[in-house]
């Protein structure tokens, strides 16, 4: 196979065309590919090149190049690894970010590829054996630091290396000891347990005994006595013993230098920097003390880039900087959030064509050699929760909440705020969603009252509802699925709203049903459609939509030339929803009578196409730290469910909406300030992608995560039942006390996948007339609720009361008596009996993956529609025996048969 370019190493053929890690090692000044079975095993005498490729939801590849420098590697190998990183970037079309990784000082992004840890091996890599010969077992002492991506550093096996700040692992032939410094955090101890398990499985085949030792507690503990005997006996650790790791600090000084062709640094600016200082045909170095960035203009030459890297290395040596100083190489257009944060008003709009531009240089060659870059299909969103639950809507009217009648609860006014409650069944229990919806023309007083009301409602409910704050025109799609058919009118009906417009001398635009009015119809399906009242002018039309025009005397339906057949179907349904007595005149764009234009105040120009759909964003997870009012976040790379530690607060940034996840053992201040934390995060715009302050915010409590949150993880619901802090949970798992099967995994990050519901099946929502919601029990507001708020109720108490087990609803499955096997007696009798009266369907139509799926059935009970013969054939047991099994066993069986 010929190389991509004459100067590109043949080892890079096909690099970056598939997702995942690709690793090369420098051996005899040549690149040698490392097999996947050896990924994560690094030799301190070698230098490595690592490429990580992720295909984003937008379809574009995201490349990260890391060149890792072992502490004992030769200077020739280090220089070659740096040069090869540039070469690989060029082969990929200049579409990668490059990171220099130094042994013992690796970035958290790099460490996240090799969970739970990376422990370098002494010696030099040899492709002939794949290992250094003559490895023998010896006692090792490792220092561990970090609560997510953990740094593991081997230190001399002596007492003087212990300290009160870090966690240590002493690995011996017969036992592994975990020593926790008294100043180490619970999260660090929990992460170190994962390293203990890794060492046990990889060096001892999982057969080694594990002992935990607490700093300062050793009296009458035989494990502690054995531990200290290996250090010659117990002796106290000095209070001022230094940590095995360099302490990181926030950089306060930023200097920008231009790098000349002679490798000289010319200072450009200090402190307040702007993007205009960076020229596309030059290279620059941004010095941020603990981190250094090399910015390479898109029109700069490869020789200039090599000179820039060499000049940066010389600068760090001359300044006597720590070997752990991070160095990141960026090509224009691929700037990271950390880099952009050092510039004032960095433009938020990123040029997505940069990826295509770079890939275009090599795509044809890739295909010529049989490679192809996969694009993700544009998939349609499907609901991720049961949409047949109970919906209640209250209108905010000052200190009062007015419950809307069922037939009015899908009609909202732009001048009001509303509190929305939705209850749905999930995994055998009722879950609750509480929304505040702010109309675009609503009053600030109503917004404040709405937040107070939702706090009080959350406090009065059993369990821990998910709270959400949404603005009109920024609603998350899940919100629309809950309402299914939503109409938004202009104006308002409350006395407070009418008093406001009277004081301001504003016209009353409230629609009274008699007209005139113009509605834009939008949506994806009959279970997700909206009619939005817009201004009664021709400029509000759009060729890509359908409209309903009520003139008072006549009704017109207007069909844009760029609208789809689906849009036309939704138009008919929504027309009947707004007023079933209307007899409309259907109009095609371009065939309108004069009466139509007169109602809109005359003809005028209007848009032809919908707003451009922005690229889907992959989610980012951040840990939140609040100390003395200071708000800080730290990104967790390649995150998993296990990163959600119960002592902490996290933000999951999905761009269009953000989630605040509150651990059960997190501090009370974080819980109470949840919405404020979300607002601070939006103001900070951590990712520098132009978050607006009206972005939707969800507040999620640990143990009550909704499926539209868990879909971003490979979620194991059994972990929600674990008790204790992070360390106690991990220790119980390590000692075999808890089964951690992956039988309940949700689809990983398939938020936009077709047919994805909590049961991996499409939700059967309401029928075409809007009925069909279940009568799931929901709280009622106490008669004493509507009271005047003389003083604001404390946020902590309102949002998150002290944790206590939720009281079971008398009618809920959890309240029913259970057999010794854990099955629900009422459940058995009900579903066994009901199966006799249900319509029978063939298995092929009941499957989640069916090409001809059955509709209008309870998707959580697909198996109930099987005939007795087919049930016995598929499950291998009788229907009665099946319903006597514990629910988790039944669900697991259904998953294997694609019925769940």
**Strand ranges (DSSP E) for 12-118?**
20-27, 30-33, 47-55, 61-69, 96-102
pLDDT in the model for residue 769: 34
Higher pLDDT residue, 346 or 538?
Answer: 538
- Mean pLDDT, range 727-739, rounded to an integer: 76
pLDDT in the model for residue 220: 63
Structure token pair of residue 169: 């692992």
Structure token pair of residue 694: 């009206």
Nearest to 433 by CA among 148, 676, 199, 701: 701
pLDDT in the model for residue 350: 46
In the 8-state DSSP scheme, what is residue 760?
S
pLDDT > 90: percent of the chain: 48
Could you give the strand order of the β-sheet that contains 151-155, starting from the edge strand earlier in sequence? 151-155, 140-145, 167-171, 175-180, 209-214
Higher pLDDT residue, 674 or 471?
Answer: 471
- 270-314: pLDDT as tens digits: 988 999 999 999 999 999 988 999 999 999 988 899 999 999 999
Residue 440 pLDDT greater than 90, yes or no: yes
pLDDT in the model for residue 483: 95
- Mean pLDDT, range 731-743, rounded to an integer: 60
Q: Which residues contact 725 (CB under 8 A, 6 or more apart)?
A: 186, 190, 646, 647, 665
In the block, tokens 């990712």 appear at: 687
- Contact between 518 and 565 (Cβ < 8 Å): no
- 698-724: pLDDT as tens digits: 999 998 899 999 999 988 887 776 788
The highest-confidence range among 6-15, 425-434, 735-744, 752-761, by mean pLDDT, is 425-434
pLDDT in the model for residue 101: 95
Q: Note if the pTM is more than 0.85.
A: no
Residue 463 pLDDT greater than 80, yes or no: no
Q: What's the N-to-C CA distance of the chain in angstroms?
A: 47
pLDDT in the model for residue 481: 93
- Contact between 710 and 747 (Cβ < 8 Å): no
SS3 647: coil
What pLDDT band is residue 344 in, cutting at 50, 70 and 90?
Answer: confident
Buried b (16+ CB within 10 A) or exposed e, 61-81: bbbbbbbbbbeebeeebbbbb
pLDDT in the model for residue 616: 57
Residue 631 pLDDT greater than 60, yes or no: yes
Residue 871 pLDDT greater than 90, yes or no: no
Nearest to 355 by CA among 734, 110, 94: 94
Please count the other Cβ atoms lying within 10 Å of the Cβ belonging to residue 791.
5
What pLDDT band is residue 488 in, cutting at 50, 70 and 90?
Answer: very high
pLDDT in the model for residue 615: 53
Residue 136 pLDDT greater than 80, yes or no: no
pLDDT in the model for residue 799: 30
pLDDT in the model for residue 411: 96
Structure token pair of residue 211: 């002992």
Q: Which residues contact 480 (CB under 8 A, 6 or more apart)?
A: 486, 523, 528, 529, 530
- Mean pLDDT, range 186-204, rounded to an integer: 93
CA dist 136 → 120, 128, 132, 153, 209 (Å)? 15, 19, 11, 19, 20
Strand partners, 418: 395, 437
Residue 645 pLDDT greater than 50, yes or no: yes
- Mean pLDDT, range 10-20, rounded to an integer: 88
- Mean pLDDT, range 24-35, rounded to an integer: 93
pLDDT in the model for residue 349: 56
Strands 167-171 and 400-403: unpaired
pLDDT in the model for residue 548: 97
**Taking all residues of the chain, what is their mean pLDDT, rounded to a whole number?**
81
- Give the rounded distance of the alpha carbon of 61 from its chain centre: 18
Least confident of 197-206, 450-459, 782-791: 782-791
Residue 375 pLDDT greater than 60, yes or no: no
- 593-603: pLDDT as tens digits: 999 999 999 99
Please count the other Cβ atoms lying within 10 Å of the Cβ belonging to residue 646.
21
In the 8-state DSSP scheme, what is residue 744?
T
Structure token pair of residue 825: 């007696």
Please count the other Cβ atoms lying within 10 Å of the Cβ belonging to residue 807.
10
Q: Which residues contact 136 (CB under 8 A, 6 or more apart)?
A: none
The highest-confidence range among 55-64, 232-241, 622-631, by mean pLDDT, is 232-241
């Amino acid at each position: 196979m010929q190389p991509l370019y004459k100067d590109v190493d043949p080892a890079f053929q096909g690099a970056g065309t598939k997702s995942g890690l690709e690793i090369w090692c420098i051996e005899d000044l040549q690149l040698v590919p490392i097999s996947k079975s050896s990924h994560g095993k690094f030799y301190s005498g070698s230098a490595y090149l690592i490429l990580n490729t992720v295909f984003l939801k937008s379809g574009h590849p995201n490349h990260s190049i890391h060149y890792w420098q072992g502490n004992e590697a030769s200077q020739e190998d280090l220089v070659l690894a740096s040069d090869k990183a540039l070469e690989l970037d060029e082969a990929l079309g200049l579409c990668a970010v490059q990171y220099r990784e130094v042994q013992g000082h690796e970035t958290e992004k790099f460490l996240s590829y090799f969970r739970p840890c990376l422990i370098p091996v002494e010696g030099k890599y040899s492709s002939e054996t794949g290992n250094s010969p003559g490895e023998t077992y010896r006692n090792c002492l490792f220092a561990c630091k970090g609560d997510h991506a953990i740094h593991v550093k081997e230190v001399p096996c002596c007492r003087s290396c212990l300290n009160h700040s870090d966690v240590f692992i002493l690995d011996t032939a017969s036992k592994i000891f975990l020593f926790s410094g008294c100043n180490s955090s619970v999260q660090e101890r929990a992460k170190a347990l994962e390293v203990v398990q890794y060492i046990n499985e990889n060096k001892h085949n999982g057969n080694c005994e594990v002992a935990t030792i607490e700093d300062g507690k050793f009296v009458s503990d035989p494990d502690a006595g054995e531990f200290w005997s290996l250090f010659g006996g117990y002796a106290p650790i000095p209070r001022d013993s230094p940590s095995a790791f360099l302490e990181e600090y926030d950089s306060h000084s930023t200097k920008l230098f231009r790098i000349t062709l002679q490798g000289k640094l010319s200072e450009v600016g200090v402190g307040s920097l702007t993007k205009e200082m960076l020229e596309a045909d030059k290279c620059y170095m941004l010095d941020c003390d603990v981190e250094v960035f090399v910015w390479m203009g898109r029109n700069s030459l490869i020789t200039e880039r090599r000179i820039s890297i060499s000049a940066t290395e010389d600068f760090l040596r001359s300044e006597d900087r720590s070997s752990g100083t991070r160095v990141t190489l960026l090509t224009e257009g691929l700037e990271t959030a950390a880099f952009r944060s050092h510039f004032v008003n960095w433009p938020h709009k990123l040029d997505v064509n940069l990826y295509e531009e770079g890939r275009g240089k090599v795509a044809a060659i890739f295909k010529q050699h049989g490679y192809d870059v996969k694009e993700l299909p544009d998939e349609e969103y499907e609901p991720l929760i049961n949409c047949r639950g109970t919906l209640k809507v209250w209108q905010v009217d000052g200190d009062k909440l007015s419950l809307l009648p069922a037939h009015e609860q899908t009609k909202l006014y732009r001048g009001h705020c509303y509190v929305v409650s939705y209850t749905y069944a999930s995994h055998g229990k009722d879950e609750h969603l509480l929304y505040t919806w702010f109309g675009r023309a609503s009053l600030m007083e109503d917004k404040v009252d709405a937040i107070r009301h939702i706090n009080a409602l959350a406090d009065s409910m059993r369990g821990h509802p998910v709270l959400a704050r949404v603005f009109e025109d920024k609603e998350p799609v899940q919100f629309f699925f809950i309402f299914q058919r939503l109409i938004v009118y202009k104006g308002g009906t409350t006395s407070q709203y009418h008093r406001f417009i009277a004081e301001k001398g504003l016209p009353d635009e409230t629609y009274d049903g008699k007209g005139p009015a113009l509605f834009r119809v939008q949506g994806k399906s009959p279970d997700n459609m909206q009619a939005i009242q817009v201004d009664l002018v021709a400029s509000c039309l759009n060729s890509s939509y359908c409209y309903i025009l009520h003139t008072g005397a006549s009704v017109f339906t207007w069909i844009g030339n760029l609208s789809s057949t689906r849009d036309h179907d939704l138009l008919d349904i929504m027309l009947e929803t707004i007023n079933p007595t209307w007899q409309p005149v259907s109009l095609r764009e371009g065939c309108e009578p004069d009466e139509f234009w007169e109602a809109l105040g005359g003809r005028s120009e209007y848009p032809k196409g919908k707003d451009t759909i922005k690229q889907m964003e992959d989610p980012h997870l951040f840990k939140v730290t609040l100390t003395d009012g200071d708000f800080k976040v730290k990104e967790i790379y390649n995150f998993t469910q296990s990163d959600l530690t119960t002592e902490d607060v996290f933000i999951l940034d999905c761009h269009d909406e953000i989630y605040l996840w509150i651990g059960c053992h997190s501090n009370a201040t974080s819980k109470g300030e949840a919405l404020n934390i979300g607002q601070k995060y939006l103001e900070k715009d951590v990712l520098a992608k132009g978050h607006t302050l009206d972005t939707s915010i969800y507040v999620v409590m640990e143990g009550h995560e909704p499926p539209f949150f868990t879909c971003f993880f490979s979620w194991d619901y059994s972990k929600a039942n674990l008790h204790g802090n992070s360390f106690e949970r991990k220790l119980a798992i390590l000692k075999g006390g808890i089964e951690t099967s992956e039988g309940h995994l949700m689809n990983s990050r398939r938020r936009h996948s077709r047919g994805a519901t909590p049961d991996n099946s499409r939700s059967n929502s309401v029928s075409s007339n809007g009925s069909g919601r279940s009568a799931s029990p929901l709280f009622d507001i106490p008669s004493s609720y509507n009271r005047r708020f003389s003083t604001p109720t404390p946020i902590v108490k309102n949002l998150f009361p002290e944790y206590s087990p939720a009281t079971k609803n008398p009618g809920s499955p959890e309240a029913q008596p259970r057999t010794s096997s854990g099955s629900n007696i009422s459940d058995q009798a009900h579903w066994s009996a009901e199966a006799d009266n249900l319509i029978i369907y063939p298995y092929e139509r009941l499957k989640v993956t069916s090409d001809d799926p059955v509709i209008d059935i309870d998707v959580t009970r697909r198996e109930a529609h099987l005939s007795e013969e087919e049930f016995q054939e598929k499950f291998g047991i009788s229907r009665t025996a099946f319903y006597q099994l514990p629910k988790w066993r039944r669900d697991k069986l259904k998953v294997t048969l694609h019925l769940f």
